[in-house]
């Protein structure tokens, strides 16, 4: 693939003029990338945004789909589609942290999961923003402590997530100002 070859991510992409909001963007991109029809998605919420490695704001949109959905990957954008049980992101079989230097120069530890997809006889590395969003959603849904450390106050998950995002955004803003 041209962009981000070998990386695991949720369907998504850049908003276009025809999109009313992040939900429209998410539904359009899921249709383009994996053939998921928008009317087959029950949108539940938007999560606290994140910032990707190119400093783009990424807003995750969460929805329910039927478990019978069969993805039809667009070969120009997607090489493989696989399913991971959400609980894997609080009780993984293969987990480690990776050191990562942010664009603002800070070193952080990021989640890195290896998921063995027995159906396709492949292993997938899920890390970075994709892992961050999956972990956060699993924490919200299951409401229990993961088997690894996280950067959240688990008793105040939403507010601590918002605070983490605002701190990251502020550090990027300060870096931009200092580069002027």
**Banded model confidence at residue 179, pLDDT cuts 50, 70, 90:** low
76 and 99 both lie in a single domain: no
pLDDT given at position 1:
45
C-beta separation of 41 from 65 below 8 A: yes
Q: Please give the residue that has the higher pLDDT: either 2 or 11.
A: 11
pLDDT digits (tens, 9 = 90+) for 13-65: 999 999 999 999 999 999 999 999 999 999 999 999 998 888 889 999 999 99
E-assigned strand segments in the chain: 42-46, 50-51, 57-58, 61-64, 95-101, 107-117, 122-127
Q: What is the pTM of this model?
A: 0.90
Asked if pLDDT for residue 107 goes beyond 80, the answer is no
Name the domain boundary from 81, 116, 149. 81
> Do 129 and 143 share a domain, yes or no?
yes
Task: Say how far apart CA 73 and CA 90 lie, in whole Å.
Answer: 28
**Orientation angle between helical segments 157-178 and 128-142, nearest 10 degrees:** 160
For residue 52, the model assigns a pLDDT of: 87
User: What mean pLDDT, rounded, does the chain reach?
Assistant: 91
Domain tally, the chain: 2
Tokens representing residue 171 in the block: 């550090």
């Amino acid at each position: 693939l041209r962009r981000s070859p070998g990386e695991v991510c949720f369907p998504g992409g850049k908003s276009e003029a025809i999109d009313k909001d992040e939900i429209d963007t998410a539904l359009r991109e899921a249709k383009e990338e994996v053939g998921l029809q928008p009317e087959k998605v029950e949108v539940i919420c938007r999560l606290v945004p994140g910032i990707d490695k190119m400093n783009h704001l990424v807003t995750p949109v969460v929805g329910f789909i039927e478990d019978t959905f069969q993805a039809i990957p667009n070969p120009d954008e997607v090489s493989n589609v696989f399913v991971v049980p959400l609980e894997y992101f609080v009780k993984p079989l293969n987990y480690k942290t990776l050191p990562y230097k942010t664009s603002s120069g800070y070193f952080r530890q990021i989640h890195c999961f290896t998921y063995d997809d027995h159906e396709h006889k492949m292993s997938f590395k899920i890390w970075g923003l994709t892992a961050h969003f999956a972990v956060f959603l699993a924490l919200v849904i299951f409401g229990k402590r993961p088997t690894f450390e996280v950067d959240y106050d688990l008793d105040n998950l939403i507010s601590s997530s918002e605070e983490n995002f605002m701190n990251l955004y502020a550090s990027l803003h300060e870096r931009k100002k200092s580069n002027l």
